[in-house]
Structure 1
Amino acid sequence: MHTNLSSLNAAIAGKTEAEALAVLADLFPGEVVFSTSLGYEDQVITDLIYLNNINVKVFTLDTGRLFNETYLTLQKTNNRYDTKIQVYYPQTAAVEQLVSEKGPLSFYDSLENRKECCFIRKVEPLNRALKGAKIWVTGIRAEQSGNRQDMPQLEWDEAHQLFKFHPILHWSFDKVKEYVKVNNVPYNPLHDRGFVSIGCGPCTRAIREGEDFRAGRWWWEDESKKECGLHAK
């Protein structure tokens, strides 16, 4: 059994993205999961998983604040691949308490409030979704952020005690878009309106020409603080 990072890297060395996913799924049957936000990158990976019948559980987080276009993309994706992507919601009591005590827009007031909202709506549901998993597949790409340039394609996540695999880590944004176009993959129509990274409605806007990839997320905050807790980098 391949249980350490070096042996896993050796097992997927030289493999295509789909081949590497299949190898990991065979090594950890029923213990490989993919978290999709239904954005461009994640739709590529979803296509690779379903078209190749790879044994990877696909799930998404519904924060309760998503764009209607995102729900439309989820429905189209389920229809296209004849599947049912698992949806995880935040704990009802936690959301009720947050909104009752601080209002529906508390995240605009402070970084602390915003991270509290992200934890309740995203991080806690993610932790439940990852329970029992050995491999967490993500749609992270290196060019999305400066601190991801040296990120390995396969790494150990100490916080969640599992391996993280980023199959399209070294893909360019143009390559992602080309794959979606050529393979007629369903995608979020907000991408056609300047939205590059799509999250919750109140916290996401389209980016302007020349702006950074992440400029549309939590645009009212300092650039160095733009993270939600799902990924350390």
Structure 2
Amino acid sequence: MISRAEQERYNRRPSQARRLNKSEYLLNQEKSGLIVAHNENPGTLAVEYADKHPKEILARAFELEPNIAISFSGAEDVVLIDLARKVSKDLQVFTLDTGRLHPETYRFIDQVREHYDLAIDVLSPDAEKLEAYVKAKGLYDFYKSDHHECCGIRKIEPLRRKLATLNAWITGQRKDQSPSTRNDVAVFEQDSSFTGADNALLKVNPLANWTSAQVWEYIRMFDVPYNPLHDQGYISIGCEPCTRPVNPGQHEREGRWWWEEATAKECGLHKGNSSSQD
């Protein structure tokens, strides 16, 4: 004779149970504590995780929101992918192909794809808008005006389209990348520049409190692949016409848009980092 507990387990067999729809399943998971709705206050999370290791921040981000992706620039933020791989094998990663990256960066993106056996979603600008812009202003207009229109077409619009399909994204932003524009970057924040699939968009910056030295210590310690341009004096790497090596002692952002004021050395991808309204 079977016990009541055994009978109850038998009665709950998948073949006998009513199949839950997606909404019911997620609600049950959330009530049980297995899933936490991503509308948890980002400010509270930022305080709670301010001193946590990036790996812990990533783990929490994946718990909070399954529909999340890593933004990979083809530079030292490859550390994010390496850390995330240790937390989850199911990663969504995307990168922006502006059409003007260094050959080394394109090869590096493929190297990362192969090294981590990872699918990377490569985002491209709208061909018609780009063609119209180049026809009207040429390939190097940003040197005599500013870079925001070009960045808007090549970076901001493709990013906006991608983020509209997500509920959260992970970036490699660090405070020390630009004290004048990134000093207030938090590990968790609500993105005020872009909207996600459910309108609100959670933004996660696991490396916010790391320094460049810590990033490179990690790269060397764990033999993480990196862009060979770093060995040629490049620190902050973007499009080829807008990026140059820096001298010892110069800040890394000195190698980006060097013809513009320090407070303008942002492309508009991140909220509050510039005065542009992309």
Structure 1 contact 63–121 (Cα < 8 Å) conserved: yes
Report deviation, 1:105.
1.0
Q: Which residue of 1 aligns with 2:143?
A: 108
Equivalent AA in structure 1 for residue 187 of structure 2:
Q
SS in 1 for 2:162: helix
Which of these residues, 91, 95, 98, is aligned with residue 63 of structure 1? 98
SS in 1 for 2:100: coil
1: CA distance, partners of 2:58 / 2:252:
26
2: CA distance, partners of 1:151 / 1:8:
13
1: CA distance, partners of 2:254 / 2:43:
36
Q: Which residue of 1 aligns with 2:209?
A: 170
1: CA distance, partners of 2:186 / 2:112:
29
**Is 2:224 aligned against 1:190?**
no
Gaps of 5+ in 2: 1-35, 195-199, 274-278
SS in 1 for 2:156: helix
**Is 2:240 aligned against 1:204?**
no
Equivalent AA in structure 2 for residue 121 of structure 1:
R
Q: Which residue of 2 aligns with 1:152?
A: 186
Structure 1 contact 25–56 (Cα < 8 Å) conserved: no
Q: Which residue of 2 aligns with 1:24?
A: 61
Equivalent AA in structure 2 for residue 119 of structure 1:
G
Tell me the percent identity. Answer: 43
Mark the CA change 1:150 to 1:102 in structure 2 (over 3 Å): closer, same or farther: closer
Query: What RMSD in Å do the two structures reach over aligned CA positions?
Result: 1.8
2: CA distance, partners of 1:54 / 1:14:
25
Report deviation, 1:57.
1.4
Equivalent AA in structure 2 for residue 135 of structure 1:
A
**Is 2:168 aligned against 1:132?**
no
Which of these residues, 150, 154, 166, is aligned with residue 117 of structure 1? 150
**Is 2:219 aligned against 1:180?**
yes
Structure 1 contact 153–166 (Cα < 8 Å) conserved: yes
1: CA distance, partners of 2:178 / 2:258:
15
How big is each residue's C-alpha offset from its partner over 1:133-184, in whole Å with a ceiling of 9 and x where there is no partner? 2222110111111132233221111222312111011111111111111111
Mark the CA change 1:28 to 1:15 in structure 2 (over 3 Å): closer, same or farther: same
**Is 2:72 aligned against 1:33?**
no
Report deviation, 1:26.
2.3
2: CA distance, partners of 1:184 / 1:54:
19
Report deviation, 1:13.
7.0
**Is 2:179 aligned against 1:142?**
no
Q: With the length of structure 1 as denominator, give the TM-score of the two structures.
A: 0.91
Mark the CA change 1:188 to 1:9 in structure 2 (over 3 Å): closer, same or farther: same
Q: Which residue of 2 aligns with 1:229?
A: 268
Higher RCO, Cα 8 Å, sep 6+: 1
Structure 1 consecutive aligned stretches of length 4 or more whose deviation exceeds 3 Å: 6-16
How big is each residue's C-alpha offset from its partner over 1:42-81, in whole Å with a ceiling of 9 and x where there is no partner? 1100111223325441100000000000011111101101
2: CA distance, partners of 1:166 / 1:179:
17
SS in 1 for 2:70: strand
- Bigger shift: 68-77 or 42-51? 42-51
Report deviation, 1:206.
0.3
Structure 1 contact 59–87 (Cα < 8 Å) conserved: yes
Report deviation, 1:125.
0.5
**Larger Rg, first or second structure (1 or 2):** 2
Q: With the length of structure 2 as denominator, give the TM-score of the two structures.
A: 0.77
